[in-house]
């Protein structure tokens, strides 16, 4: 199972434990994106080494995540709740874990990192998640270039994420 698949299952497991029935694609995209940014900022490395996010009208999305979710649906790890509100033309596809969480390969530090940030991110509304994502460097960078016209499909540049100065090792010579 890929690292991204494991991550998606982990997020859905924590959502279930927090009493959240399901998560939309929008939420899964934004949470994965924010975790990638936080990992760069506070751990100094990507959480997902080869994951690409592109600019979409409503913020960052990833086709890799979309395909992994499809895989997990086929493997019967994930089920979908489909619901529709009268005042909105699109149906909401809610994703939930329908099997127990398999053994995952995250180390202790990664699990603590994810649990800490997911406890902040999972309770947020879609609007708040979008605001959070838009306040990150890659989104700010592309919005600055757009001048009002959304550059849909452009790959987001994570090299603009500023590593927190306190996570840079300035103690290398000490014992």
Partner 1 sequence: MNFSVGDIPFFREYQFTDTGKTAPHFGLVLLPENATRYTSSVLCCVITSQQPNRKKWSLLLKCSCYSCFTNDSHACFDRKDLVSKNGLGNDPQPKAKLNKDDLKRAYKVLRGSLFVIKDLANDPHMRGVIIYEWKKALGLLKTRT
Question: Which residues form the interface with partner 1 (CB under 8 A)?
Answer: 17, 38-39, 41-45, 107-110, 112-113, 115-117, 119-120, 124, 128, 131-132, 135, 164, 166-167, 169-172, 174-175
Considering the complex, state which of residue 22 and residue 39 has its C-beta at the smaller distance from partner 1.
Answer: 39
Considering the complex, state which of residue 49 and residue 109 has its C-beta at the smaller distance from partner 1.
Answer: 109
CB 142 within 8 A of CB 55: yes
Q: Is 107 exposed, middle or buried (0-12, 13-18, 19+ CB in 10 A)?
A: exposed
Q: How far apart are CA 144 and CA 149, in angstroms?
A: 10
CB atoms within 10 A of CB 113: 18
- Residue 21 DSSP one-character state: -
Q: How far is the CB of 103 from partner 1 (least distance, A)?
A: 15
Q: How far is the CB of 41 from partner 1 (least distance, A)?
A: 8
Considering the complex, state which of residue 149 and residue 173 has its C-beta at the smaller distance from partner 1.
Answer: 173
Q: How far is the CB of 155 from partner 1 (least distance, A)?
A: 24
Place of tokens 């619901």: 83
Q: How far is the CB of 100 from partner 1 (least distance, A)?
A: 14
CB atoms within 10 A of CB 86: 5
């Amino acid at each position: 199972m890929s690292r991204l698949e494991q991550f998606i299952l982990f997020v859905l497991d924590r959502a279930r434990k927090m009493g959240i029935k399901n998560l939309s694609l929008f939420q899964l995209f934004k949470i994965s994106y924010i975790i990638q940014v936080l990992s760069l900022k506070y751990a100094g490395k990507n959480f997902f080494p080869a994951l690409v996010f592109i600019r979409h009208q409503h913020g960052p999305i990833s086709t890799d995540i979309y395909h992994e979710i499809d895989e997990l649906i086929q493997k019967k790890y994930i089920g979908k709740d489909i619901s529709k509100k009268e005042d909105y033309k699109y149906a909401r596809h809610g994703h939930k874990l329908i099997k127990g969480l398999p053994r995952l390969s995250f180390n202790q530090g990664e699990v603590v990192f994810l649990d800490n940030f997911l406890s902040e991110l999972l309770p947020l509304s879609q609007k708040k998640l979008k605001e959070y994502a838009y306040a990150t460097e890659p989104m700010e960078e592309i919005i600055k270039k757009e001048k009002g016209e959304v550059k849909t499909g452009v790959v987001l540049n994570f090299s603009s994420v500023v590593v927190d100065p306190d996570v840079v090792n300035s103690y290398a010579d000490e014992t």
